[in-house]
Amino acid sequence: MLKGIPPILSPELLKVLCEMGHGDELVIADGNFPGASCAKNSILLRADGHGVPELLEAILTLFPLDEYAPPVALMAKAPQDEALDIPIWDEFRRIVNKYTDAPFEFVERFAFYERAKKAYAILMTGEKAIYANVIIKKGVVKF
């Protein structure tokens, strides 16, 4: 254990967050996301038993968001799901607003999968909410 680091962040995840550079992307995926098949060229991490909001909140205490490109992308609803309310997006907005007021980018489902395949890492969670996949882009640590 270390002081000041949220205990939900595993040593493996901390290592990956530290290794990432400006512009690298991290996918924080819900339990339904095809993480293993998307991570053929990425690092696959697991945080089973944890939800996306709690991990996003902990990660953002250490992870600077990009200021030069949209820093947060969500998987857009499929046309047949347009009427669905996605309350977890409100949670994401509340968490992210502590660090930036940049608008979220919404990415069509299959384009999201393609983008995830190019991410530095994919963090699989036990999140049960639908459309709870988020991509965050790393920014620069300023001293």
**Residue numbers annotated as active site:** 22, 66, 113
CB atoms within 10 A of CB 111: 12
Q: Where are the beta strands (DSSP E) in the chain?
A: 25-29, 43-47, 72-75, 105-107, 121-125, 134-137
Q: What angle do CA 67, 94, 143 make, to 5 degrees?
A: 35
Is residue 45 within 8 Å of residue 124, measured between CB atoms?
A: yes
β-pair type (72-75, 25-29)? unpaired
Q: What angle do CA 56, 57, 59 make, to 5 degrees?
A: 65
Per-residue tokens: 5: 């680091």
Per-residue tokens: 111: 């384009």
